[in-house]
């Protein structure tokens, strides 16, 4: 009945994603221990973004969800980015 709406994520995929997440955790700890100045924040946030994307796509199955849901989730992050941007512009020009 609802077969088309429920994609079953194989155990193997979950295992691979977990190993990749471990790798990125290790990478972010190593990279932030080196002094890269302002780059550190950017790199750490980029890696966190990749990890977040993997969790959303595979653990939360967004990869196999409807386009509607994908767009909704993307819009939440766009909204947050806009709020951050506007707030920082406000602080920069006072």
Partner 1 sequence: MSQHENHAFEHRDDEAKKLGMWLFIFTELLLFGGLFLVYSIFRSQYPDSFHEGSLELSVTIGAINTIILLVSSASVAVALTAIQKNNTKLSMQMLLLTVFLAAAFLVNKYFEWGAKFHHGLYPGSELMQLLDRGHHLYFSLYFFMTGLHALHIIIGMILLLISYFKVKAGKVKMDDFMHLENAALYWHLVDLIWIFLFPLMYLIS
- Using left for φ > 0, alpha for ψ between -120 and 50, and beta otherwise, residue 13 falls in alpha
> Does the protein bind partner 1 through residue 29 (CB under 8 A)?
yes
Alpha helices in 2-66 (DSSP H): 11-33, 38-54
> Does the protein bind partner 1 through residue 15 (CB under 8 A)?
yes
* Measured CA distances, 57 to 17, 42, 43, 50, 91 (Å): 10, 22, 21, 10, 34
Measured from the CB atom, is 91 or 93 closer to partner 1?
Answer: 91
> Does the protein bind partner 1 through residue 87 (CB under 8 A)?
yes
> Does the protein bind partner 1 through residue 88 (CB under 8 A)?
yes
> Does the protein bind partner 1 through residue 69 (CB under 8 A)?
yes
> Does the protein bind partner 1 through residue 71 (CB under 8 A)?
no
User: To which residue do tokens 């947050």 refer?
Assistant: 80
Residue 93 in 3-state DSSP?
A: coil
Q: Which of 34, 44, 63, 94 binds partner 1 (CB under 8 A)?
A: 44
**Cα distance between residue 27 and residue 13, in whole Å:** 21
Positions in the binding site for partner 1 (CB under 8 A): 1-2, 5-6, 8-11, 14-15, 17-18, 21-22, 25, 28-29, 32, 40-41, 44-45, 47-48, 51-52, 55-56, 58-60, 66, 69, 72-73, 76-77, 79-80, 83-84, 87-88, 91
């Amino acid at each position: 009945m609802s077969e088309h709406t429920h994609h079953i994520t194989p155990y193997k995929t979950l295992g691979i994603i977990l190993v990749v997440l471990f790798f990125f955790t290790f990478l972010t700890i190593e990279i932030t221990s080196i002094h890269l100045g302002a780059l550190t924040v950017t790199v750490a946030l980029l890696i966190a973004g990749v990890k977040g994307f993997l969790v959303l796509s595979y653990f939360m199955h967004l990869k196999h969800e409807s386009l509607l849901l994908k767009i909704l989730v993307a819009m939440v992050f766009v909204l947050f980015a806009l709020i951050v941007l506007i707030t920082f512009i406000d602080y920069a020009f006072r």
